[in-house]
Amino acid sequence: MRWGTFMETARRTGRRRGGVDTRTQILDAARIEFARKGFKGATMRSIADAAGVNVALPAHYFGGKKKLFAATLELPAEAREQLLAVTRQPEIDAGELTRTYLGLWEDPDTRGQLLAIVRSGLGGGEAIEWLRELLTEALDDAASSGPQQKIGLVLATSHLLGTAVARHLTQIAPLSLLPFDELVTIVTPAIEASLRIHLDG
């Protein structure tokens, strides 16, 4: 069998050289497609093409576009727990929260999911629900559970989200060009101010 014929056969059947898992291959391709195009723009066909598999395989493994999208939104358990662990501290450290959250955007293993959430979440739907769920979980788990502390944490995470969007989605210079440590140093005072907000009454 010629090499070209072999590759075309593998593409149609979803086989991979070197034992690469087809489900993982589809999931990786879907993260890229959803991050670039959002939920509405990405199609099962474009995802299959990006993964190099038969167009029927994404549905076979995930049961449909919505379920595939939901799978791409799930951050690794370790990353999710890392973020929530910061908010469970009796006194949330602004620098640690800033570095932990923005660090997830710097990490290639989690950046794709976060970009997909934001791109698709701008239009509402499941992505924005997932983001709301994560923030709500952070609030519920916060050791300091008073109303002022919760408002402060919402303001802080909103500021961090805006910073991440400007740096990674819209890529606004010079913010997008700053070294990560310098970014953390610049942003932390604003996060500190949000966390320590005082409301009359």
Q: Give, as one character, the DSSP assignment of residue 15.
A: -
Same domain for 59 and 111, yes or no, is: no
Which helix or strand (DSSP H or E) is residue 48 part of? helix 44-51
| Residue 201 covered by a domain | no
Looking at the whole model, is its pTM more than 0.75?
no
Same domain for 69 and 94, yes or no, is: no
Same domain for 36 and 131, yes or no, is: no
Containing domain of residue 39, as a range? Answer: 3-73
The pLDDT profile of the chain, 201 residues, written as one tens digit per residue, is 333 433 343 344 444 443 468 998 998 899 888 878 878 888 999 999 999 999 999 999 999 888 888 788 777 778 878 888 888 887 889 999 999 999 999 998 888 878 877 776 666 566 666 666 666 666 666 655 566 777 888 889 889 999 999 999 899 999 999 999 999 999 999 999 998 875 544
Residues 6+ apart with CB under 8 A from 136: none
pLDDT at position 9? 37
Token match 């944490």: residue?
A: 153
In this structure, what CATH number is given to the domain that contains residue 52? Answer: 1.10.10.60
Task: Let me know: does 85 contact 116? Beta carbons within 8 Å.
Answer: no
Concatenated DSSP letters of 137-192: HHHHH-S--SHHHHHHHHHHHHHHHHHHIIIIIS--TTGGGS-HHHHHHHHHHHHH
Same domain for 48 and 106, yes or no, is: no
pLDDT at position 130? 64
Per DSSP, the chain holds a count of helices (H) and strands (E) of: 11, 0
pLDDT at position 162? 92
pLDDT at position 85? 86
Task: Show which of 18, 45, 73 is a domain's final residue.
Answer: 73
Q: How many domains, the chain?
A: 2
CA distance 124 to 127: 7
> In degrees, to the nearest 5, what angle opens at C-alpha 97 toward C-alphas 155 and 156?
5
Same domain for 32 and 91, yes or no, is: no
